[in-house]
Chains A and B, each alone.
Chain A
Amino acid sequence: MNKIILSLSLVIFALSMFAQDVPAVQLKDLNGKTVNTKSIINNNGKPVLISFFATWCKPCIKELNAFNENYDDWKEETGVRIIAISTDNSRSSNSVGPFVKSKGWEFDVYLDENGDFKRAMNVGEVPHTFLLDGKGKIVWQHKTYLDGDENKTFDVIKKVSKGQPIK
């Protein structure tokens, strides 16, 4: 058992030392077209914010509403691109398009119906947000949403867009 713990801590320690790539997984866009995650995270050297959500998840909607309200300002200041990944299964995946349109969200939304991308990104519960730097490396992440969290998120985006360290 001790060996396991030792090895485990070794692994986790080693992991925390370098930034991760986004895995290549097939998603669907709201037009039903299959797209690869690698192709949607390109933002010409500017940061990308990926947010996992579900239409039935209240904090997720609050978070994305908050992002949406600030999106124009954030884009202008940092060039950030926001991508929302719906984890709705086939019960509600067909309503994601109308839902997103009715909310007036400006960012791109993709469907991850059977949770392939969610699993590849090791997301347990939604909401879960990742920030990618200009090279497409995951440099920051945040679980859950508490009201006001968007301020912190924006601070981090600003730092990343300027190439500053996060902490």
Chain B
Amino acid sequence: MKKIFTLFLNLAGLGIFSLLAQENTENNSGQITGNFQTDAQYYIEDQSIGATAVKEYMLVNSWANFIYSNQNFSAGFRYEGYMNTLLGYPNSGGINDGIGIPFRWAMFSKDDLEITVGNFYEQFGNGLVLRSYEEKMLGIDNALDGFRIKYQLHKGINLTGLIAKQRYYWNHGPGIIRGFDGTIQINEVFQSLEESSLRLNIGGSFVSKFQHEDHPLYNLPDNVAAMSGRIMIRYKNFDINSEYAYKFNDPSLDNSYIFKPGQALLINTSYAKKGLGIVLSTKWVDNMAFRSDRNASLTDLNINQLPEITKNHIYVLPAFYPYATQPNGEWGAKAEIMYKIPKNTLLGGKYGTNVSLNYSRAHDIKKTQINDSTPVFPPASGTYGYNTKFFSIGDKLYFQDINFEISKKWSKKILSNFSYVYLIYNYDVLRGITGHGNVYAHIGIVDMTYKFENSSALKTEIQHMFTKQDEGSWVLGMIEYSLPGWFFTVFDNWNYGNPESKKHYYSIGFGHISGGTRIQLSYGKQRAGVMCIGGVCRNVPASNGVFVSISSTF
């Protein structure tokens, strides 16, 4: 592997130099671009917060991408090294540790055709039946490895076909994934409609996975198909975007080997004009976990991704209790209003004031017994499972989030952001345990920035969370001073409401940014918790130590 890698690099280097020699003839000069990142943590044992040291003292995750492109052809690879994997990343049995090139690809495109060989990412529609993606900070990479063809049949009609296996750490999952997607953009297809204020897109996907097992107990389907249809209608300022998905019998670890088919519906509607945006969304999901290995769990080998519609909180305290889609059954709804109070009004001030109000809620769905002897819960493996009416809403609350945010610029120098969040978090369901109960949390946040003349700035954040459940109340203070290319932060998160011990989680750090390069160094304590990006979460263990991150795009 190493030999191949060196060879590749040498060739790449050579290629570039030969290109440089003919720099002036622009027409055939291919280019190589890339980026790399390395995250390292030195661990210190700290029993007060439950942080452990590691035998290696220090763990390092790193990766680098290289992309070569020349007119219609491009190719690339990603070199990854986990020596060993940072704590909290998926690494059961050390499966993620190691170095290698798990991602390499070549792509050729000409006119209306594009062919990819090797690894690629793909999303059909909203991802209800297929979404392959990577999220390095969560250790998720369900890249496909195979062949993909994209073809434009006609202006506005695009087809995609693929056949692939899925990345599973340094190997592949057992299943074979075959997928097809077609989209038709009506306004593009018919020239007469090009300027119409009514816009219409329709699309459909079909995905089938193959995994053979000689199961001694169950007649398992070797081929499991899922399909979806979607539509987008836009008229002036109104927009409706909806997708429905259906999955045939797919007994798996996720659904406890029941044979019921799955369904999902997602509807997003919105209204937008200058200074105002309104979004109403709802979704309904039943038995829609879809993986290329029926025995996979956690974040492994997902073929699809069911998007959350709740707000993605980025401030530290509200992010303590994040929502994640429950593929075995959930109903959710969201309403969001974003408004900019105009400039030069009483409330708008000189620059205008942004306000937003967001409400979301998620429940279970109504499940009924298939017969008297089969309980709905715990699920009875080797049966149909349960019955449910489409779009039924159960009584059990999974999650509720009411939040209100005001961003105001007071002057050229002072910016501020105020938020209030009220969360109800069904700890048992969302963390997959029982006996913990709901968490009710009120959170207030004040975020102020003062800009100095010389492009430097002082940013402060005060957050307070009041809750009687879980670990109790928290207060967080953060100060960041920045000047061009540099920033310094001091941070303390105090769990003063913890009945057992009132712990401080402090951290200090600084960073330097120069063009496409960033270097960051910090020392501090991190609370055990859940970190989420785009609705997918991982458990992060408590840690104490020095963290270094270097990233660069070239």
Contacts and interface: CB of A to CB of B under 8 A. Distances in A.
B482 interface: yes
Interface in A81-102: 89-92, 94-95, 97-102
Contact of B20 (A18, A33, A89, A103): A18
A160 to B, nearest CB: 14
Nearest to A135: B26
A146 B234 contact: no
A147 B354 contact: no
Interface in A12-51: 12, 14-18, 20-21, 23-24, 31-34
Interface residues of A: mostly helix, strand, loop or mixed?
mixed
Given A90-B127, A104-B275, A104-B352, A148 B455 contact: yes
B354 to A, nearest CB: 7
Interface in B382-426: 409, 415, 417
Interface residues of B, number: 102
Contact of A89 (B122, B456, B515, B534): B534
B232 A34 contact: no
A102 to B, nearest CB: 4
A149 interface: yes
B272 A147 contact: no
A58 interface: yes
B451 A148 contact: yes
A128 B19 CA distance: 28
Contacts of A103: 338, 340, 354
Contacts of A4: 2, 5-6, 9
A37 to B, nearest CB: 12
B6 A143 contact: no
Nearest to A56: B312
Interface residues of A, number: 63
Interface string A143-157: 110111101100000
B535 A95 contact: no
B457 A148 contact: yes
Closest 9 CB pairs of A and B: A98-B277, A148-B455, A147-B457, A7-B9, A102-B338, A14-B16, A102-B277, A122-B35, A10-B13
Given A16-B554, A95-B277, A102-B272, 11 more contacts: A3-B6, A7-B12, A11-B12, A11-B13, A18-B23, A18-B31, A91-B309, A98-B272, A120-B67, A122-B67, A144-B511
17 contacts: A11-B13, A14-B20, A16-B554, A18-B23, A20-B31, A90-B123, A90-B131, A95-B336, A102-B354, A103-B338, A104-B340, A114-B121, A122-B65, A124-B551, A128-B553, A146-B484, A152-B455
Interface of B: 2, 5-6, 9-10, 12-13, 16-17, 19-20, 23, 29, 31-35, 37, 65-67, 69, 74, 109, 121-123, 126-127, 131, 133-134, 136, 158, 183, 185, 187-188, 199, 201, 232, 234, 239, 241, 268, 270-279, 281, 305, 307-309, 311-314, 336, 338-340, 351-352, 354, 356, 409, 415, 417, 447, 449, 451-452, 454-457, 459, 482-487, 511, 513, 515-518, 534-535, 551, 553-554
Interface of A: 3-4, 7-8, 10-12, 14-18, 20-21, 23-24, 31-34, 56-58, 62, 65, 69, 89-92, 94-95, 97-104, 113-116, 119-125, 128, 140-144, 146-149, 151-152
